[in-house]
């Protein structure tokens, strides 16, 4: 792909019937350790996925060459502001392995009336510093305080009830608004095979709107 690429692309993938009709976010939250917290995070793998997403929909994604094997679910309460922007990093199999930066996410908000923004920040000034590469080696997590990056916002998007291919290799955060946010980030079996953002765009190009 030539020219400058965007940080997100809506995909022409139906999300109708994605979520089970009997799944209720309030009931779910109440039973978890995050019930009195402003944010929550959960991972669902293999069969566990079907407690929230319809099996037929996962099958439909497979037919679209999107073999989902797990997903993360993120909850944020209205107006909760996380103090850091971050880059997604895969936890290495062995502690001695170098952590791998993630490339993309397939994100979908399942709550109604999403009014939050996923926002991206340009940290090229910081990336040149030695300190940052040291942080990468020491911990599988790269983050920047919002106070340092909030003037360097380069893009933002309301994800809403659709699938958006998002670049998670560029520092990002969520700007919450008046509504709560329940986001599902799908993980595919072949994620590791897509080595950079251009490869991810190319892989999903057939479905990019």
Q: Which residues of this protein are in contact with Fe ion, per CB under 5 A?
A: 88, 168
| Cβ at position 174, least distance to Fe ion in Å | 9
Q: How is residue 188 written in tokens?
A: 């595919």
Q: Is 38 or 50 the residue whose CB approaches Fe ion more closely?
A: 38
| Cβ at position 86, least distance to Fe ion in Å | 6
Within 10 Å of residue 57's Cβ, how many Cβ atoms? Answer: 20
What separation in angstroms does the CA of 203 have from each of 23, 47, 105, 206?
31, 26, 13, 8
CA atoms within 13 A on the CB side of 39: 11
> What is the rounded radius of gyration, in angstroms, for the C-alpha atoms of the chain?
17
| Cβ at position 88, least distance to Fe ion in Å | 4
| Cβ at position 118, least distance to Fe ion in Å | 9
Q: Kindly give the pairing relationship between strand 8-10 and strand 172-175.
A: unpaired
Give the ranges where the chain is alpha helix by DSSP (H): 25-30, 55-63, 124-127, 130-138, 146-149, 197-204
| Residues 173, 207: Cα–Cα separation, whole Å | 25
Q: Is 55 or 145 the residue whose CB approaches Fe ion more closely?
A: 145
For Fe ion, which residue has the nearest CB? 88
Q: Is 89 or 201 the residue whose CB approaches Fe ion more closely?
A: 89
Q: Is 20 or 140 the residue whose CB approaches Fe ion more closely?
A: 140
| Cβ at position 3, least distance to Fe ion in Å | 25
Q: Is 168 or 176 the residue whose CB approaches Fe ion more closely?
A: 168
């Amino acid at each position: 792909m030539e020219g400058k690429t965007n940080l997100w692309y809506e995909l022409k993938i139906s999300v109708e019937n994605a979520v089970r009709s009997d799944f209720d976010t309030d009931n779910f939250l109440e039973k978890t350790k995050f019930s009195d917290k402003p944010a929550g995070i959960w991972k669902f793998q293999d069969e566990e996925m079907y407690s929230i997403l319809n099996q037929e929909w996962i099958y439909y994604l497979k037919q679209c060459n999107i073999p989902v094997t797990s997903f993360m679910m993120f909850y944020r309460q209205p107006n909760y502001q996380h103090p850091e922007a971050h880059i997604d990093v895969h936890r290495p199999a062995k502690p001695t392995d170098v952590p791998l930066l993630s490339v993309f996410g397939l994100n979908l908000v399942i709550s109604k009336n999403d009014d939050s923004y996923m926002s991206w920040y340009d940290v090229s000034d910081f990336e040149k510093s030695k300190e940052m590469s040291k942080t990468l080696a020491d911990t599988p997590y790269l983050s920047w305080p919002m106070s340092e990056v909030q003037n360097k916002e380069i893009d933002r998007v309301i994800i809403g009830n659709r699938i958006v291919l998002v670049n998670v290799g560029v520092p990002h955060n969520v700007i919450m608004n008046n509504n709560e946010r329940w986001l599902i980030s799908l993980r595919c079996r072949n994620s590791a095979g897509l080595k950079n953002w251009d490869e991810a765009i190319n892989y999903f190009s057939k479905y990019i709107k």
